[in-house]
């Protein structure tokens, strides 16, 4: 079994690579990543020691490159993590989100059609459903919730989902989609809430909380997400969408205060700043489909997950420092050349 993992040098992709190498040590893996600012080739150092793991540097939006790769490798399964993933950046510069998230996904779908695969899996997000009101805790996103996006990021992810389903219906391509809530854990780029707040708190810098801090996210430990994707790809039904999340809703301010308390830092570091444009109020997943069909449930409680996440960032200060100094980008540039 040969698996293509795109976006494997980013946060969830890296965690997924290590999860799969352990869960299915007999498979062969190719990780494709264009090493944008969010990709970090050093994350994959230990994976590259495995003889059944190789890396390829290239963009999913580069049709010629992708078709050559598919012609050479004969993949059985393609799992697409590659994306521009940060909402704030999509507000600043939507164009690259369309290029990677929409065009890139369409190129992969075309390559899958041409060369044949057993499964194309699109890693999507709960943000495609828009948001839920804060004062209706009885409401959750199900797979039937209409797509209703708020940001250029979520609009681009929804477009990719629609294309994926269109290739299933029109061309009979064997696809699946998973839509997950907010992940946290090791290797997350420090532009996202949790690692950003850890980084700033450790440096005694102000922690910028958007708006009133009462927006709600449904936090999932990244390893639980990896296990869910593995299950959907291996055992989930073709042409289906599976929501992944776990009744673990927290207000942003609660998350920030938890981080400060764990690091022994004062709440006075919190600074309320201007709200994000179009800021989604609340995300909350109903995971009954994946639970009922595949037996999946999240295993990591937030209290334990946030503790081990903070420990990881404390134990891997060099990882964070390399990002702050830009050393990781120089490494990507020089070492990445070996894998073009």
Binding residues for ligand NAD, rule: CB under 6 A, are 6-7, 9-13, 33-36, 38-39, 59-61, 81-85, 100, 104, 123, 125, 157, 180, 182-183, 189
The single residue of 18, 29, 129, 153 carrying the catalytic annotation is 153
Q: Which stretch binds ligand DAU (CB under 6 A): 92-100, 124-132, 235-243, 322-330?
A: 124-132
Size of the residue set binding ligand DAU (CB under 6 A): 19
Question: Given the complex with ligand DAU, which of 35 and 270 has the nearer CB atom?
Answer: 270
- Length reported for the chain: 340
DSSP string, 67-116: HHHHHHH--SEEEE--S---HHHHHH--HHHIIIIIIIHHHHHHHHHHH-
Q: Please report where in the chains the tokens 């899996």 appear, as a residue.
A: 121
Phi, psi torsion values for 42, nearest 5 degrees: -60, -30
Longest dimension (CA), the chain: 57
Q: Which does 67 bind (CB under 5 to 8 A by kind): ligand DAU, ligand NAD, none?
A: none
Contact residues for 76 (Cβ-Cβ < 8 A; gap 6+): 1, 2, 3, 117, 118, 119
Of 127, 161, 230, 249, catalytic:
127
Angle among Cα 91, 96, 100 to the nearest 5 degrees reads 125
Strands, E assignment, the chain = 2-6, 28-33, 53-57, 77-80, 119-125, 175-180, 183-184, 207-210, 216-218, 220-221, 240-244, 249-251, 270-273
Is 215 a binding residue for ligand DAU by CB under 6 A? The answer is: yes
CB of 219 to ligand DAU, least distance (A): 9
Site string for ligand DAU, 31-60 (x = CB under 6 A): ------------------------------
Closest CA to 78 of 114, 108, 35, 50: 108
Q: Does 100 bind ligand DAU (CB under 6 A)?
A: no
Q: Which two tokens stand for residue 314?
A: 């404390």
| 126 annotated active-site | yes
Answer for which of 174, 190, 208, 239 binds ligand DAU (CB under 6 A) is 208
Does residue 199 bind ligand DAU (CB under 6 A)?
no
Binding residue (CB under 6 A) for ligand DAU from 57, 119, 192, 289: 192
Kindly tell me which of 63 and 113 has the beta carbon lying closer to ligand NAD.
Answer: 63
Partner whose footprint covers residue 252, from ligand DAU, ligand NAD, none (CB < 5 to 8 Å by kind): ligand DAU
x-marked contacts with ligand DAU along 76-95 as a string, rule CB under 6 A: ---------xxx--------
Name which of 25 and 146 has its Cβ closer to ligand DAU: 146
Nearest in space to 60 (alpha carbons), one of 83, 87, 89, 85: 83
Binders of ligand DAU among residues 238 to 257 (CB under 6 A) are: 252
Residues 267-296 that bind ligand DAU (CB under 6 A): 276, 283
Nearer to ligand NAD, 167 or 184 (CB): 184
Among 125, 145, 159, 300, binds ligand DAU (CB under 6 A): 125
Q: For residue 333, indicate whether it is catalytic.
A: no
Contacts for 208-212: CB closer than 8 Å, 24+ residues apart: 208/271, 208/273, 209/252, 209/253, 209/256, 209/270, 209/271, 209/272, 209/273, 210/252, 210/273, 210/274, 210/275, 210/276, 210/279, 211/272, 211/274, 211/275, 211/276, 211/279, 212/253, 212/272
The yes-or-no answer on residue 127 being catalytic is: yes
Q: Which of 312, 46, 90, 8 is nearest to 184 (CA)?
A: 312
Smallest gap from Cβ 303 to ligand NAD, in A, equals 19
Q: Which of 56, 117, 209, 284 binds ligand DAU (CB under 6 A)?
A: 209
Smallest distance from the beta carbon of 184 to ligand DAU, in angstroms? 9
Q: Does 182 bind ligand DAU (CB under 6 A)?
A: yes
Active-site residues: which are they? 126-127, 153
């Amino acid at each position: 079994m040969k698996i293509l993992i795109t976006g494997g040098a980013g946060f969830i992709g890296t965690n997924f690579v290590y999860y799969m190498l352990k869960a299915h040590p007999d498979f062969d893996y190719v990780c494709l990543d264009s090493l944008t600012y969010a990709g970090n080739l050093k994350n994959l150092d230990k994976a590259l020691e495995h003889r059944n793991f190789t890396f390829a540097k290239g963009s999913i939006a580069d049709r010629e490159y992708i078709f050559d790769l598919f012609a050479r490798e004969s993949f059985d399964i393609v799992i697409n993590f590659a994306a521009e993933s940060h909402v704030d950046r999509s507000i600043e510069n939507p164009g690259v989100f369309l290029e990677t998230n929409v065009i890139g996904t369409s190129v992969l779908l075309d390559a899958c059609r041409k060369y044949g695969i057993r499964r194309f899996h699109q890693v999507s997000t709960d943000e495609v459903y828009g948001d839920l009101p804060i004062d209706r805790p009885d409401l959750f996103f199900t797979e039937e919730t209409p797509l209703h996006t708020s940001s250029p990021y979520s609009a681009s992810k929804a477009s990719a989902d629609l294309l994926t389903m269109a290739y299933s219906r029109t061309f009979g391509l064997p696809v699946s989609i998973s839509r997950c809530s907010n992940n946290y854990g090791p290797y997350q780029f420090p532009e996202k809430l949790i690692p950003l707040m850890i980084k700033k708190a450790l440096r005694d810098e102000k922690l910028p909380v958007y708006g009133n801090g009462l927006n709600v996210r449904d936090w999932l430990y990244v390893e639980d997400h990896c296990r869910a994707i593995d299950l959907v790809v291996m055992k989930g039904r073709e042409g289906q969408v599976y929501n992944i999340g776990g009744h673990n809703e927290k207000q942003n301010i609660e998350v920030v205060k938890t981080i400060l308390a764990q690091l022994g830092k004062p709440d006075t570091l919190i600074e309320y700043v201007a709200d994000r444009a179009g800021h989604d109020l609340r995300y909350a997943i109903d995971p009954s489909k994946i639970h009922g069909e595949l037996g999946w449930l999240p295993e990591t409680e937030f209290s334990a997950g946030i503790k081990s996440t903070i420990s990881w960032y404390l134990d891997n200060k060099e990882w964070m420092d390399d990002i702050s100094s830009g050393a990781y980008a120089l490494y990507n540039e020089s070492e990445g050349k070996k894998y073009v």
